[in-house]
Amino acid sequence: MLIDDKSTLFAYAITRDFGFAPNPFHGICTLATCKPDVRKSAKVGDWVMGVGGSLLRPVKGKCICLMRVSEKLSFQDYWDDERFSIKKPSRNGSRVQMLGDNIYHKDDEGHWLQEDSHHSNPDGSPNLVNLRRDTGKTNQVLISDCFLYFGSQAIAIDLESIGYRRIRNFRKIKLSESVEAQNLIASIVNQNKSNLNRVISDPCQFMDSHQRVDQGSGKIV
């Protein structure tokens, strides 16, 4: 796994860990919803690290996911690409299928469509707050074929070393300016090589995969 010192580390707080954002299933880790600033800014070769936020108390401040961006696609290209059909949600399927994140595409008139999903209303109708937040700032999905997903077995890491003291929103760190960030990535990867590209442990809230979330209110229903 190449760590290019010209790349950037994006460390961000995961507020909810259902397995939806990020979605680590089927050997590919994707970030297709939430965190629009990260999805907009991150480039191929950059690293994205999801850290447990304050609401995830057992894993607060721990590394839930580390992924190297291998590809970026628009929502429509993500939807149309047969490789990612398996990530389209099925709310009557397994827990993994219920959490599919391939939910956005456009109709013939160019209007956004939101599939019945974790980000829809309880009756399956579009949740317009979530739709606007997910698509408003950026039309980008981050894809990784080189990742570590720890889920509920998130690992303790030294966030102080990279200056990420207040675990909220995200911090952007140029690796050319931070040997500490390079070392942190390298240590996580080197200690967990045998677990690359697999779900090491279920997401923290995996058993509640049937529920929906509203990003405006923060409520889970």
Extents of the domains making up the chain = 8-208
- 150 touches 64 (CB < 8 A): yes
Express each pLDDT in 175-220 by its tens digit. Answer: 999 999 999 999 999 999 999 999 999 999 999 999 999 999 999 9
Q: How many helices (H) and strands (E) does the chain have?
A: 5, 11
Please enumerate in sequence order all residues whose Cβ is within 8 A of that of 177, keeping only pairs 6 or more positions apart, or say none.
Answer: none
- pLDDT of 165 reads 86
* pLDDT score for 1: 58
Give the model's pLDDT for residue 173: 97
- Whole-model pTM? 0.96
Report the pLDDT value the prediction gives residue 202, as an integer from 0 to 100.
Answer: 98
pLDDT beneath 70, residues of the chain: 1
The per-residue pLDDT for 211 is 97
Q: Are 191 and 179 in contact (CB under 8 A)?
A: no
Cα torsion 214, 219, 220, 221 to 10°: value is: -90
Q: Report the b/e string of 35-66 with b at 16+ CB within 10 A.
A: bbebbeebeeebbbbbbbbeebeebebbbbbb
